[in-house]
Structure 1
């Protein structure tokens, strides 16, 4: 079901976060009607949703009061299944779960979220389960250049900075220090139910330094193949954590891989941005999208069945790789109608800004997607797409001239 008329009598789900586009589009694939709540209001988000609520505060952050007000209004809508959290709501989950008059959260409740986000609970649990992780501390380390300071309720790498820039003897709030460790930055996307888990796959995380933030998330590449024994060890660790914490639905696990040795960094107790990556790489395996798996796990305690083989003659999904990259503005600019239209018509662009949006230097412009049969080809495709969008920024000013430049 893809048209609005075919969805007229379908159940309704609300999706909320800094950006709701990923979940909104996946919900439509699952045959659901969508209400989106986020701070951007991008064109493809609004196209997927029947209603959109602006929950932005000062800067690119969520205003908790506006979020609560929007959820209170949504709670009165008919055929509402509940709401699903995306990134940016980590510090708000506990109070939202205890606020009356809101729709039910389809995902991890406050207790399960705290079990994997509170450093005083999570890292002792890893130690108890003998799951490796970088050394952590609450007191300021003697050699701060070897450590990072992390906020447990943050996301997207904006919660990580060098410990050298923090001189207090103790961490602020829910912060903790983590020793810098070698290895590739990877993630595992998984869905959990009734103490068990199904791992969809593994992806490589990309990041870049932005100002004083050394690891701002910029995208992901995958699925990648790991040695079978490494894959089994990571999956065993995820299974053990799910059995002890009661995680449900789609979550992700960030970890470092150095040779055959892995170390868990953190658990994101909600659907992560790599959901789009796997839907792009393997559309035949998940014809109803991955959010359908999240709903089945949270509402019915069911994990996905093995994927059916592709039709005769069709390329297998496992032969494909995908990549996504957040493009950040190289300079301040206003989004013209021509720029927005060109990106919306580009099949490789997501999170397309509305005409008239002002984007500061260093803020996200859009997300680029690529799919190919090798990781090198994916990287090349992302580079070409980045060059195209950067050219649009420079040429799409006046509507008549920009139309020629952007659509040639």
Structure 2
């Protein structure tokens, strides 16, 4: 790494993906997250612990770290990922911290459910039924907090008596969970591609994010209508940089669920499946859009690369403490990411690592991911 290269700070619950992409772009990386995974520290020259109780970010530790980071030389700014949604606007206005490279105040237009679903209705963009008061019969309804991520903000409405602040009700709808990754600048957007999302159920949380597969090819007309919806939303909200649209796909119809106004985990799929298209990583494209108003060429997007990539989170079947041998074995495994440091305590049901691989076809990719995850689970059982 060039010691004189610009610096960028990346922050979230897990900063590994952004740190990896930024290092590929030739940047000096400062990572702030709650895990401090082994490969995160490999890609980042500096790491700050911003962990709170459980799987949460401690606001005071975050601001202490950011004030230190802001004083580092050649600091371009801060790129955030999942976990910092509640602080997006606050961080963009806070003194003494690096400037946010991405969405600040404009994120409210899509993160505030009242504004967002009103926008969709006005633009005639389909979405599941939404209510802001409890339905009389809540059996087929979800309750969602607008400041959450990764499925941890979604619960069955029938299992909650109270409505948390900022929450809303959404009717359970049919369809395959999908996402569209896009880059926006100056009220224009380029869609990078579509990915299939996978979820698991955990306790009272029915839709915990567990991975993704992509890019996947959609029928031309369906893809065109989704692209048109994204372009309409970006025109009306002035979103900037890497964002993603979550939606349900049912045959040739789609319903919008939400927008993530920051780089999402699916960006890793496109970098893995089509590395030649993104020689500076997608974070390089994010910086170009946010700092210079430049978008990638449209002919780079929505083309079928030679490979499809998949990533899947491995959850601990039982609690254990990662040994040196376990961490070393994962670190030597090219398919393994988000690798725990020796001595890390991982409780039952918590994420252990993320497995990622590529294949020329979707069925082969699923088989390969099954094999990779089974190998890690056996390694945990033998631990």
Q: Do the aligned partners of 1:335 and 1:357 also contact (CA within 8 Å) in 2?
A: yes
Does residue 31 of structure 2 align to residue 36 of structure 1? Answer: yes
Q: Do the aligned partners of 2:185 and 2:241 also contact (CA within 8 Å) in 1?
A: yes
Q: Distance in 1 between matches of 2:159 and 2:27?
A: 46
State the partner residue of 2:133: 139
State the partner residue of 1:312: none
> Does the C-alpha gap of structure 1 residues 162 and 308 become closer, same or farther in structure 2, counting only changes over 3 Å?
closer
State the partner residue of 1:368: 355
Q: Do the aligned partners of 2:132 and 2:168 also contact (CA within 8 Å) in 1?
A: yes
Does residue 269 of structure 2 align to residue 282 of structure 1? Answer: no
CA deviation string 1:321-355 (max 9, x = no partner): 11000000000011000110010110000000000
- Give the Å deviation of 1:112: 1.1
Q: Do the aligned partners of 1:284 and 1:317 also contact (CA within 8 Å) in 2?
A: no
Q: Distance in 2 between matches of 1:206 and 1:395?
A: 27
- Give the Å deviation of 1:167: 2.2
State the partner residue of 1:256: 248
State the partner residue of 1:403: none
Q: Do the aligned partners of 1:281 and 1:317 also contact (CA within 8 Å) in 2?
A: no
Q: Distance in 2 between matches of 1:122 and 1:262?
A: 17
- Give the Å deviation of 1:295: 0.2
Does residue 159 of structure 2 align to residue 179 of structure 1? Answer: no
CA deviation string 1:188-231 (max 9, x = no partner): 00000000100010000000100000000000011111110100
Q: Where in structure 1 do 4 or more consecutive aligned residues deviate above 2 Å?
A: 306-309
State the partner residue of 1:359: 346
- Give the Å deviation of 1:306: 4.8
Does residue 75 of structure 2 align to residue 80 of structure 1? Answer: yes
Normalising by structure 1, we get a TM-score of: 0.92
SS in structure 2 at match of 1:177? strand
State the partner residue of 1:334: 321
- Give the Å deviation of 1:307: 5.8
Q: Distance in 1 between matches of 2:297 and 2:92?
A: 30
Length, aligned pairs only: 382
State the partner residue of 1:402: none
Match of 1:197 among 156, 170, 189: 189
> Does the C-alpha gap of structure 1 residues 334 and 9 become closer, same or farther in structure 2, counting only changes over 3 Å?
same
Q: Do the aligned partners of 1:256 and 1:264 also contact (CA within 8 Å) in 2?
A: yes
Structure 1 residue runs of 5 or longer lacking an equivalent are: 310-315, 397-408
Does residue 102 of structure 2 align to residue 107 of structure 1? Answer: yes
CA deviation string 1:255-314 (max 9, x = no partner): 0111111100000000000011111111111121100000000000000025679xxxxx
Structure 2 residue runs of 5 or longer lacking an equivalent are: none
State the partner residue of 2:118: 124
Does residue 12 of structure 2 align to residue 8 of structure 1? Answer: no
Q: Do the aligned partners of 1:252 and 1:267 also contact (CA within 8 Å) in 2?
A: yes
CA deviation string 1:108-146 (max 9, x = no partner): 01x211100101110000011111100100110012111
Does residue 332 of structure 2 align to residue 345 of structure 1? Answer: yes
Q: Do the aligned partners of 2:179 and 2:196 also contact (CA within 8 Å) in 1?
A: yes
CA deviation string 1:358-383 (max 9, x = no partner): 10001000000010000111111111
Normalising by structure 2, we get a TM-score of: 0.98
State the partner residue of 2:289: 297
- Give the Å deviation of 1:95: 2.1
SS in structure 2 at match of 1:318? coil
Q: Distance in 2 between matches of 1:212 and 1:172?
A: 15
State the partner residue of 2:309: 322
Match of 1:377 among 356, 359, 364: 364
